[in-house]
Amino acid sequence: MSYEVFARKYRPQTFDDLVGQEHVSQTLKNAVAQNRLAHAYLFVGPRGIGKTSTARILAKALNCIHGPTVTPCGVCDNCREIAGGNSLDVIEIDGASNNSVEDVRELRDNVRYAPAKGRYKIYLIDEVHMLSPAAFNALLKTLEEPPAHVKFIFATTEPQKVLPTILSRCQRFDLHRIPANLIAKHLQFIAGKEKITLEPKAAHAIARGAEGGLRDAESMLDQLVAFCGDPITETDVLKVFGFTSQQTVASLTEKILRSATADAVQLLHEQCEAGKDMMRLMANLISYWRDLLVFKVKPETLSEDVDLELQKALAAQAELIETDRLLELIDQFAEAEARMKWAPNKKLHFEVALIKAIQSLNQVTLNEVIEKLNALRDGKTVAGVADAGAAANDRGYSPGRVAEKTESANKRETDPAKIWEQICAKIPAKGFLRTLVDSLAVLGTEGRHFVVGYPAEEKSATETLITANNRRQLEDLLKQTSGRDWSLKFIAREDLPRKKATAPAENLNDPLIQEALEIFKGQIKS
């Protein structure tokens, strides 16, 4: 007996076998059970998610000798012929190669004849959007008022190309991309049937690479079995298909959020040297940023697409960046991806995008400027004078000089050591948080980052205490104490003593910044 690929061997045979399409299978089961059958159906969705399989299952439900039934037996002649694609009463037509008006006229002439064995004559047209406008128009009247024994089932990946007059005559079902967790679970089911050991991380790597298409995932598993046999590890998946592990993408994201430019570029170089596709890595990174954005807005949305370990990483990283900053980063990387498509040196554009992203995190945003202006208008004391930059610019100062002076003024007005001393006074004398702050030394500020360090010799013990909860508590205290949204940045230093470092307070006495601030105050009062 010839070998049968997994995508065909494990094709769904009943409504309950469909993966990730419960909204479609339940509706069709109810329609069959209640005998509320439409004369035309349209299944819409991307490749490999079950459109043709759903059409065949519906055909079996209608023509099974025990039917119409929601559970076709699968063993009668009608069911076996439909599953094999050689039923006389279920005519499968490829819309791409039978798209002329003559083909449709032949179909229209044949619908009048009664089915040979089954209850219905069913026309299944795949990629129906490939039909020509003339062919669509020739089908209209028959599609609207077919004989009682005829059913039409259409499938397409591009519904926007189907004439509205055709769409209005069909019941439309939109099949969704299948969540990665469901694909991974199905792959484990196949592996169990085939007596193959498939590591959970390998199954998830395949599922992510399939991008919601179960058929693609099954084909990839087939290829892996041929390549490496048993067992199949995550390393095998990454090696065969050139994927980047989710942990690597998460690590790259972490380095960007921590403003670790050198480490981020080094990681990119390592991936490039390992032969990873830069375009795919960029796509994976953007996808990860999207997951991070969704997690910040509604964490439970990712429960079916992201494993528990990765959800923990997303939770920690979500605390490091505001939503508006995250949206800016996604836009930056999307623009870089567009440039990379046509660039001969893709690595160069990736490096530039990384460095630009990290720099943008340390820049003052327009929202922060407006917030400070509003605070001045209300008569409140503002920590930092980033808002002075705009006024200075109006007076003819160069943007670069204003940015440099403004950053310098921010550092002088904000006394990191004093802020840290006030925070430490609010923390109980005992507990993990107290142990953490006692091991840290203030190093200063970098843009929106409040930088603290710890001795390199205590790296392991200190990083154990840097939990998401401790970070969140410290950043909340920073905001309460200074009135600014800070993101904590932890750095291991060889030269740090065990006691906390202090930084002398300085006064804001730069003439340029003083002049700009006075201009702003004058404008607000007027």
Whether 499 maps to a domain, the answer reads: no
Whether 500 maps to a domain, the answer reads: no
3-state secondary structure 232-272: ECHHHHHHHHCCCCHHHHHHHHHHHHCCCHHHHHHHHHHHH
Q: Hey, what are 420's tokens?
A: 């840290």
How far is it, in rounded angstroms, from Cα 329 to Cα 59?
48
- pLDDT category of residue 32 using cuts at 50, 70 and 90: very high
- pLDDT category of residue 513 using cuts at 50, 70 and 90: very low
> 268: closest CA among 290, 285, 252, 245?
252
526 pLDDT exceeds 50? no
Q: Tell which phi-psi region holds residue 74, choosing left (phi > 0), alpha (psi between -120 and 50) or beta.
A: left
Q: Tell which phi-psi region holds residue 279, choosing left (phi > 0), alpha (psi between -120 and 50) or beta.
A: alpha
274 pLDDT exceeds 90? no
Among 273-282, 421-430, 447-456, 507-516, the least confident range: 507-516
Tell whether the torsion through CA atoms of 30, 36, 37 and 41 is positive or negative.
negative
409 pLDDT exceeds 80? no
* Residues paired with 124 in a beta bridge: 92, 153
61 pLDDT exceeds 90? yes
399 pLDDT exceeds 90? no
What pLDDT does residue 366 have? Answer: 62
Give the pLDDT confidence of 165-202 residue by residue, as tens digits. 999 999 999 999 998 889 999 999 999 999 999 999 89
- pLDDT category of residue 401 using cuts at 50, 70 and 90: very low
Asked if residue 19 and residue 80 are part of one domain, the reply reads: yes
**What CATH number is given to the structural domain containing 207?**
1.10.8.60
- pLDDT category of residue 313 using cuts at 50, 70 and 90: confident
Give the pLDDT confidence of 141-154 residue by residue, as tens digits. 889 889 999 999 99
Q: What is the mean pLDDT of residues 445-463?
A: 85
- Alpha helices (runs of H) in 64-149, residue ranges in sequence order: 77-84, 101-110, 133-144
What pLDDT does residue 379 have? Answer: 59
Residues 6+ apart with CB under 8 A from 281: 244, 249, 268, 271, 350
525 pLDDT exceeds 90? no
**341 neighbors 353 (Cβ within 8 angstroms):** no
Of 225, 241, 257, the position where a domain reaches its end is: 241
- pLDDT category of residue 383 using cuts at 50, 70 and 90: very low
Task: Supply the DSSP string of 372-432, one letter for each residue.
Answer: HHHHHHTT---SS-TTHHHHHHHTT--HHHHHHHHHHHHHHHS-HHHHHHHHHHHS-SSSH
Of 241, 256, 286, the position where a domain reaches its end is: 241
Asked if residue 489 and residue 432 are part of one domain, the reply reads: yes
Asked if residue 443 and residue 424 are part of one domain, the reply reads: yes
92 pLDDT exceeds 70? yes
How far is it, in rounded angstroms, from Cα 195 to Cα 185?
15
Asked if residue 326 and residue 259 are part of one domain, the reply reads: yes
Of 211, 241, 271, the position where a domain reaches its end is: 241
Asked if residue 164 and residue 197 are part of one domain, the reply reads: no
Residues 6+ apart with CB under 8 A from 424: 437, 500
How far is it, in rounded angstroms, from Cα 373 to Cα 481?
20
What pLDDT does residue 500 have? Answer: 42
- pLDDT category of residue 247 using cuts at 50, 70 and 90: confident
481 pLDDT exceeds 80? yes
The overall average pLDDT reported for the chain is: 83
What b-and-e string marks burial along 24-55, b requiring 16 or more CB atoms within 10 Å of the CB?
Answer: bbeebbebbeeeebebbbbbbbbebbbbbbbb
Domain count, the chain: 5
Q: Hey, what are 15's tokens?
A: 């409504």
Give the pLDDT confidence of 73-86 residue by residue, as tens digits. 989 999 999 988 88
**Can you point out the beta strands (E) in 428-474?**
441-446, 449-455
**151 neighbors 123 (Cβ within 8 angstroms):** yes
> 339: closest CA among 326, 348, 327?
348
Whether 157 maps to a domain, the answer reads: yes
Whether 501 maps to a domain, the answer reads: no
Q: Tell which phi-psi region holds residue 35, choosing left (phi > 0), alpha (psi between -120 and 50) or beta.
A: left
33 pLDDT exceeds 90? yes
Asked if residue 97 and residue 187 are part of one domain, the reply reads: no
Whether 283 maps to a domain, the answer reads: yes
Whether 122 maps to a domain, the answer reads: yes
Asked if residue 372 and residue 354 are part of one domain, the reply reads: no
Asked if residue 186 and residue 155 are part of one domain, the reply reads: no
Asked if residue 372 and residue 311 are part of one domain, the reply reads: no
What pLDDT does residue 415 have? Answer: 85
306 pLDDT exceeds 80? no
How far is it, in rounded angstroms, from Cα 318 to Cα 336?
23
What pLDDT does residue 472 have? Answer: 85
What b-and-e string marks burial along 297-320, b requiring 16 or more CB atoms within 10 Å of the CB?
Answer: eeeeebeebbbeebbebbebbbeb
What pLDDT does residue 198 have? Answer: 93
Whether 433 maps to a domain, the answer reads: yes
Whether 460 maps to a domain, the answer reads: yes
Residue 354 burial class via C-beta count within 10 angstroms: exposed 0-12, middle 13-18, buried 19 and up: buried
Q: Which long-range contacts (CB under 8 A, 24 or more apart) does 95-103 make?
A: 95/125, 95/126, 95/127, 95/128, 95/129, 95/130, 95/131, 95/156, 96/127, 96/130, 99/130, 99/131, 99/132, 99/135, 100/132, 100/134, 100/135, 101/132, 101/134, 101/135, 101/138, 103/135
Asked if residue 227 and residue 211 are part of one domain, the reply reads: yes
**184 neighbors 207 (Cβ within 8 angstroms):** yes
Give the pLDDT confidence of 329-370 residue by residue, as tens digits. 999 999 999 999 888 899 999 999 999 999 888 776 666 666
**What CATH number is given to the structural domain containing 48?**
3.40.50.300
- What residues make up the domain containing 477? 416-493
Q: Rounded to 5 degrees, what angle do the CA atoms 211, 216, 221 make?
A: 110
Asked if residue 139 and residue 103 are part of one domain, the reply reads: yes
Higher pLDDT, 492 or 378: 492
Asked if residue 401 and residue 512 are part of one domain, the reply reads: yes
- pLDDT category of residue 1 using cuts at 50, 70 and 90: low
